[in-house]
């Protein structure tokens, strides 16, 4: 066995709030115009929220209203100054992604991952942290002692092929009023223990708010930026990450859509070949339809992809097959983009 760690951030973490703002805006643009081209970036901190990036859309979106709805939903103050600095998409990019050319909206490599460790084909410790994040979001809505910001990390005893055996240290940093720490800490411990008991996973020790205090959080305590939590959004360190963030990007941008497709391919090959794990890489050139390469790695070695897969992985085929123009990206951005 070896020690290994993975983490998640809660919905109220400043970076995650920025992800949710970018995706909530994307959803609104796509509602009114399925051909919207969006690359929306959000930066928040110290009383200001700055929205920038590129949007070409027929939709009329009240940016300030959307931002304030997200802030309210995550439990933040809504009195921030909101600066709208959105521009239009570069015509150079549009040349390669229009309906005639149907090329990839960006270049790069994208990864998908699946494991047979759980029935969701995700690593067990990843599922545990996602469940904690969801439980914490419900907790802070019903108990005012718990505030929005926070993150959690599992350091566990894993087999050489990264199967969780036992948790050595469960680390949770959560924002709170600091008025009743003994009881609020115990509530956090109980939630974690109940989740782990479902999977017969023992916890040796907890580290809760290791600095001793976490009262100041959110944009008051830290700045946030869209796309700064790409490991959390992907597979929490269990798989390679191509480097592209998801939030705020319409699905013509393959660093979002092709990652969703790569996950499905990984699950499909895992089942087809009865694999323990499968990792898929798909690469693209901006403006070109067909992937440059598809590589499928697994516990039994490299697997040659089906030739039809190249056609399936063309950006517009991904968008159509996965119905990505009708996706709620705001929901995906809350707890990690792969939860099942």
- Other CB atoms within a 10 A radius of the CB of residue 298 amount to 18
Fold for domain 2-9+124-218?
GMP Synthetase; Chain A, domain 3 (3.30.300)
pLDDT band for position 102 (cuts 50, 70, 90): confident
pLDDT over 70 at 99, yes or no: no
Catalytic center residues: 13, 15-16, 41, 54, 151, 214, 222-223, 228-229, 249, 253, 255
Domain 108-118+227-335, classified CATH 3.30.365.10, yes or no: no
- Nearest by Cα to 44 from 215, 216, 226, 174: 226
pLDDT over 70 at 63, yes or no: yes
Residue 313 in tokens: 């992985």
Calculate what percentage of the chain has a pLDDT beyond 70. 96
Length of the chain: 340
Cβ pair 127, 154 in contact under 8 A:
no
Which pLDDT value is given to residue 94? 53
Mean pLDDT of 157-165: 96
Residue 86 in tokens: 């959105």
Which pLDDT value is given to residue 96? 47
- Nearest by Cα to 167 from 133, 131, 199, 203: 203
Which pLDDT value is given to residue 100? 55
- SS3 label, residue 60: coil
Q: pLDDT (tens digit, 9 = 90+) per residue, 121-156?
A: 999 999 999 999 999 999 999 999 999 999 999 999
CATH 3.30.300.10 segments of the chain:
2-9+124-218, 16-89, 108-118+227-335
Which pLDDT value is given to residue 90? 63
pLDDT over 80 at 253, yes or no: yes
Q: Which residues pair with 3 in a beta bridge?
A: 157
Which pLDDT value is given to residue 106? 83
pLDDT band for position 98 (cuts 50, 70, 90): low
Which of 90-94, 178-182, 276-280, 318-322 has the weakest average pLDDT? 90-94
Mean pLDDT of 198-225: 96
Class of 16-89 in CATH: alpha beta
**Tokens 């005639």 label which residue?**
100
Mean pLDDT of 323-335: 97
Cβ pair 272, 296 in contact under 8 A:
no
């Amino acid at each position: 066995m070896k020690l290994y760690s993975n983490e998640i951030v809660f919905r109220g973490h400043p970076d995650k709030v920025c992800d949710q703002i970018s995706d909530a805006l994307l959803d609104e643009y796509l509602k009114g115009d399925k051909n919207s081209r969006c690359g929306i970036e959000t930066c928040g901190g110290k009383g200001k929220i700055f929205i920038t990036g590129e949007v070409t859309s027929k939709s009329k979106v009240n940016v300030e209203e959307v931002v304030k709805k997200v802030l309210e939903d995550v439990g933040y103050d809504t009195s921030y100054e909101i600066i709208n600095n959105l521009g239009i998409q570069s015509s150079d990019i549009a040349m390669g992604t229009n309906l005639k050319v149907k090329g990839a909206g960006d270049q790069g490599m994208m990864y998908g991952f699946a494991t047979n460790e759980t029935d969701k084909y995700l690593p067990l410790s990843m599922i545990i942290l996602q469940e904690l994040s969801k439980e914490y979001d419900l907790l802070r809505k019903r108990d005012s002692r718990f505030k929005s910001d926070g993150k959690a990390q599992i350091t566990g005893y894993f087999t050489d092929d990264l199967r969780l055996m036992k948790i050595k240290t469960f680390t949770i940093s959560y924002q709170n009023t600091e008025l009743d720490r003994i009881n609020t800490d115990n509530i956090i411990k109980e939630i974690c223990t109940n989740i782990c008991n479902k999977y017969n996973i023992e916890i040796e020790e907890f580290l809760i708010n290791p600095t001793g205090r976490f009262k100041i959080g959110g944009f008051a305590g830290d700045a946030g930026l869209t796309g700064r939590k790409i490991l959390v959004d992907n597979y929490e360190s269990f798989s390679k990450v191509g480097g592209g963030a998801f939030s705020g990007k319409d699905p013509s941008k393959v660093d979002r859509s092709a990652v969703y497709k790569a996950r499905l391919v990984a699950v499909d090959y895992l089942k087809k070949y009865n694999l323990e794990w499968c990792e898929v890489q798909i690469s693209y050139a901006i403006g070109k339809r067909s992937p440059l390469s598809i590589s499928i790695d697994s516990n039994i070695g490299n697997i040659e992809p089906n030739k039809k897969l190249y056609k399936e992985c063309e950006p517009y085929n991904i968008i159509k097959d996965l119905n990505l123009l009708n996706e709620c990206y705001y929901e995906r951005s809350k707890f990690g983009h792969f939860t099942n």
